């Protein structure tokens, strides 16, 4: 006997779009080098090129944490809607 499970197609919801934007934004910001390949404006003597990248380390951390929390909440809501327990 084979265990046949019904699978649902992936659902695109506004929350999942926000999660995707949170995860893609740092990549776009860092891969678009022309937007930050300059020295001015300097911040406490550090050229823009360097402090912009360091700022994105902090921003990326915050965006990843936000995406993770939204994903947890989304999965919990889906499990509750199905009548199951949240993981």
Token digits of residue 83: 């009548």
> pLDDT tens, position by position, for the chain (87 residues)?
555 566 666 788 899 999 999 999 999 999 998 888 888 898 899 999 999 999 999 999 999 999 999 999 998 888 887 776 555
SS3 state of residue 45: coil
> How far is the C-alpha of 16 from the C-alpha of 7, rounded, in Å?
19
Q: What is the pTM of this model?
A: 0.77
φ/ψ of 45, rounded to 5, equals 85, 0
């Amino acid at each position: 006997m084979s265990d046949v499970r019904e699978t649902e197609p992936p659902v695109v919801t506004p929350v999942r779009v926000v999660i995707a934007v949170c995860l893609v934004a740092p990549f776009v910001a860092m891969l678009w080098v022309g937007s930050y390949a300059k020295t001015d404006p300097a911040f406490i003597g550090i050229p823009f090129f360097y402090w912009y990248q360091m700022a994105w380390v902090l921003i990326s951390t915050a965006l990843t944490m936000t995406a993770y929390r939204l994903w947890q909440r989304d999965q919990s809501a889906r499990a509750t809607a199905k009548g199951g327990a949240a993981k």
